[in-house]
Structure 1
Amino acid sequence: MTEETKKEIISAFIMPKGLGKVIHIVAWGILFGIPFFFTGRESETVSIESYMRFVIVPLSFMFVFYINYCILIPKYLFTRRLAEFFIANVVLIAFVMMTVHFLMGLLPEPEHIHHRDPHMKEEPPLRNIIGFFMGNAMLYVLVSGLSVAIRVTGNWYHTESMRRDLEKSRVEAELQNLKSQLNPHFLFNTLNNIYCLIAFSPDRAQGAVHDLSRLLRYVLYDSNQKYVPLEKELDFIRNYVELMRIRLPEHVSLDLQIDEQVKGGRMIAPLLFISLIENAFKHGVSNNQQSFIHIYITCAESLIHCRIENSFFPKNKLDKSGSGIGLVNLEKRLQLIYPSAYSFRYGQEGNMYIADLQIKTSEP
């Protein structure tokens, strides 16, 4: 069973806030209402005296249940003082049973007791008390055990819910940290390209700055959302590639193909492909040799496939532009956002460098 499946099962069983109290009220209401469920035309009506005798036992069950639930379990069981928890329950159950026996003696006996057979031999009082304890102690032990089961289960639900909230906060904080690294990285590479363009075409550089402002608007504002419409992400890629095309020399072949079959409403995490595209421009272009960059993006049903092939001209070790954090950040983001729902491979194959990313998204 995968970790994702375990989380889904746990989520399905965590009680909504307040539901536990409703269950307690309904359960005790049914228990206290039992005498009224069995009254009918042929049965006797419930009198005040008979109901008072009946209600003593459910009240004693409730007392044992909540003393365990609210005091003994947190104080002894959760702190692993099992011997003290056992002794406290023995004392509690004995006290409750003696109190019930005493209260039963104070109330008038039911009418059918007065019509007992006069020839029947009456049991000694001590034997009555021992029989009462032996016959009913198990019921109170079961009530105590039920209290333990419910409280321990509720505590596990609460602990699991807190763990999931902390995990969610950690993932969100890590994603935000990765984005804060990605934005300067993107800006750094793009400004380097515009800087190169200024040297031989100031007018085109001016237009590139305008195009850059539109790209930055997307990076700084739209990409702050967890997911963005796929159409916006593809438009961003087109604009970025066209901006990069301006400064490429003639011996570089740049091909962008987006064969899309995008259903309305499909969403994707922003800026997943830009690191691959930046990497291709950085390592796939030579100033004096034939070079190529081929970018293919297809969107079919729930699968988004981005494949980039480029000539490979590794930079020397002194070149620190971008610091190589793009692909590292991308892998971390994929692990956090699309666990078990992506395939990502990249590396050199002969004189060519290939990056291949496939993401399975949910249906809109």
Structure 2
Amino acid sequence: MSVTDAHPEELVLSPDAPHCADGARVEIITSRPVPLGGPRAMTVNRTLPQKQRSLIGAWCFVDHYGPDDVSVTGGMDVAPHPHTGLQTVSWLFEGTITHHDSGDNHAVVRPGEVNLMTAGAGICHSEVTTQATTTLHGVQLWTALPDADRHGPRRFDHYAPEPVLFDGGSALVFLGSLLGSTSPVTTFSPLVGAEIRLDAGASISIDVDPAHEHGLLVDAGDIDLEGVTVAPTELAYTGVGEKRLRIRNNGSDKARLLLIGGEPFEEEIIMWWNFIGRTYDEIETYRAEWQAEDDRFGVTEGYISHDPDGLPRLPAPELPNARIRPRVNPAPIARPEERI
């Protein structure tokens, strides 16, 4: 998925990460609506990045969307666009999307199956709702690649995890290890990602890695985490040092959640539009190369827009007139007072 903001913000992210073992405090990160462009733009609920917190582990971008009636919103139609220095993680609850990228990877993204694209030094791709899709519902996430791996090759991974059953619900572990299940998908820093479903009135206590910080995104349900209410579209954050997370569904309907986590990402990065780099000069170079159709990004084959007059590729926005000062990500300690 592309960032389609007309004036995307430059983010310099430099987490300073001392560990904390104060207990299970919970910080709530509320989402903000962001249109994905076009006359009938579908709107996503974005929780990362924000001024309040920019990263959770290497997770640097979280967009939650739907359930959307595609006949009203137009669905997803994102023309070929570039990425550098990151992995995209596509996870659907409902609907299907076609994926094409310049690594010659072509796939249909389906519910319950993770599709992870590694940009490395550069890639471009497109994402389009299939014609059979009537309702679109899911999450798009990015993870930042460490400096040692960000100049590597393009790659694409697909994995359909088997459900993990527990008393009162189930889980699909698509990255890392949780609840006795381990994903084979390659990541370049310690990460975890899982969809969790809880029956009405059910609760679960999950053993987690105390070296990780975590975020719990609520898709649906009357949920509390460690006794703190987390509304749908909100992301509840817990810092490092926690060995167990307790989640309860207080409602009369089933709940669906997404748990993400990872070791605090200690590198300073700059994130602008669809690029992640280390310096402003790098970002300028990436933009110029994309506009010049440089070989860094390759060519996406197979993109067919819903709009016969649509763009064949997304042009990069103009860079800001001034450099933005570094934004320091807070230490990996939950700050309940920071609810925004």
Shorter-chain TM-score category?
Answer: under 0.3
TM-score, normalised by the number of residues in structure 1:
0.20
Q: TM-score, length-normalised on structure 2?
A: 0.21
Larger Rg: 1 or 2?
A: 1
